[in-house]
Structure 1
């Protein structure tokens, strides 16, 4: 049976949310929204959650367009996010305890002899000012109880005198092109620029992130920009992004030119922008075009090599050299190398104004030319070129890990810098990028000294795969950037370091060496009897902790691959490898339908990958 329109109702205002509309109807009928919901079998909570069936029922009772009411009300999804105007948000984003609004809009509501109401877009983080009046959105009230918070009619009545008196009003400013674009996008009237092809939330977020990064042009501390000034960052990013990919790439290049070297890392060169796209929104398909744009730009402009990481994946091969990295490989000083490469046409005119560290070219194309120009170096120049401590050089030379290119009694030994570069790449293969040496990270030579062992012992352990937790410190270059997990080194060389008993490592540390974010999957395998572990007292915390014996760790590697260890084994990036495995129908291990993360049976991996 169709429900009749209520005898007493109110007109639906433009862009009004369903909770606001229901609260106004309830007030017109002399009750609160909760009571009205009980009387009409229309729970206020379901309206707050944006359940479409309940909102359509509310629309029928109010005699208004259900599509309009549904369209401007955030709807809670099964996974706890909220859908609004075709985009998805975390609950805390749209359900802020503080309700904000434009006092000028509210004053106009009263001037029209209408009741005040809440607009749907006021809850969006991207809407910081009114697109009609240029007035910043101001706090209207705050309540941690969502039902009390969105019972808006009595709340608005309580601030009516303040609205009329102008007590909530602040200085206004001109509406920016970004704010106008966003308002039109929300209304379903795109403006015809590149961003219109994307979700409004992803496009607006990208505009802000790009603007935040571009603020490096006028401040060394973007994080100190006040939140009340973030509208300027949105506008700065929008001006660039609305012009399309070429403009964005040019802006990214300008940020690179502000940094002395790629060793600063993308987190520093592209503050917030890189971290948000690589981590925060990594699994959001709406952000995929922006993530791909940044990733492709970095691939084309950064001299990435083993030891680097891009969007969560270790870089396994070098595609581009910079003049700096090529100088290390050849022993030829960068200015002279630039002239040689320019004459050969390897470096174009576009790179002439860029710093040596940012002047990049194809490593494969230049390989024959670089090989022919390689200069053999005396020990002192070799160490300087490789950023290698003399003690480490002497140890590597004495052990035979590094061998001279030529040696005679008259001139002594001279060294090929390519041999040093190859060794460095092998040591940093699949390494973890480090911004700070926290926890148990130590420089390779410092770890050896602390244990009283030779640095060569650690080098050999890295090369033969016995040490897996290797770090590449962004603040250092060459061999001085090679860091190791000192706890893992101590575990491996416990007998040499004077410790006795079976070698064990904590399950958490073992998980990290496998590229797993935590040990949950390993713990589930252990409970299923597929991985052997023990519980013993942690000598530092004096609390029980789960460990794995060295022999059981070897057994794990003989039986399983993780996505990271398989990636390092076969030389394919983790993202590409994951897609390849999925395309072949190879699924992670799932004993008894347990989710153990990206762990695969070796036997399930095709022979061409193992």
Structure 2
């Protein structure tokens, strides 16, 4: 009797039934449409000496909504009768007598199909509970339902609701997920990646799997493990904000921004914002997806997004540091002030703190000089007259080789002056030692200069990084000494930034102090980059540093 009841299903609380020792919702087993295998029923009739209808036996697994095939005969389960009233529906003898002729005449037969891996798994699991897959940890009800819903996403089948699926969706979903939780996640990732349209939200991308796990089965604990896998996939493929509810759970922290959500959050237009994100390596310039689908790490670039609305245009920058338009252009060209982004369409690329820090350094300790004293000149005039760059002049000032002055009663960069004779003496030394490669290769920057600009002061380390093939550069010969040296194009520079970071570039990107950055990298055990046992100074892999800084 227990065996018969286990194949029949026994009510167990509100809309619940036990079937083969497991718990199901009632509608997974009870449906107005009664199905069966007509070949099985004909065989029953053939071996009986009594009334044909009385000899036919309904099998318990035929009740299951997620069972679609008779494994023994490779025949699909077909509707035998439909009755909304349970008393009529389960009057088996009467109903079989009504369809007896159709069963015996093979009128209900359909083309057979080979049992899928799913069909064989379900048959074995129902028969003796045997299951050596990861599905063995989960209920038949949850596994079979999720397989069907996942398969519908791949096959783009409509959700059959309470009708019976063909078995194609079950087989497709089962094959995609049988490898374990990781395999199921990979399958969901493929569905998410195929959703590239601007309106491709999770509900549309995952179809009935999302809607059923979000609503109908939200309170079913048997689905929790599958719901968690889907939720993690959604959080990794869509820009879900903190506080939003995804599949019944509130999101505590945003993982990703899209170009659209970042624009809404910062108040900066998506087109302008994209220039910053491309230059920071957050998104690719070749990403042709709509703004809603261009994602980037929200935590790694939080400081950049916070900074962008505070940036100013060139007029505000000149006013803040007391510089003329030509002086600001020279500061940028000589690398003393760098805009946060170099795209010409960005109207506010300047960080005021950079200019104010430079001016604090220049004005400190400057001696008063009369504006009428012709022995002194502004830094821009000294640069243009001598052929030195502003970097040479400021380096000499910091080292004490040039005395700096400030015109009495004036402030700002334009008020800082240096003595002409000192500039001439400096130029005689610096220019005589400077190679003429710049004129030989216009548009290129020396690897040594670039290395210094990102905080790699030891030229040997940066040269070793190039020679180890870890960052690109062009090897040229010095036109006077005939010695080899390395030059870098803009593409070479961008390639370095995509792969590596230094304390200098991290500080510029995040706004954090170098000491704080060093502590975070050390705590996360992020080591300096090395290759085949060779180190290259304080340079780190970008992906490792960004993970540590989250």
Look at both structures and tell me which one has the larger radius of gyration over its CA atoms.
Answer: 2
TM-score of the superposition, structure 2-length normalised?
0.49
TM-score of the superposition, structure 1-length normalised?
0.45
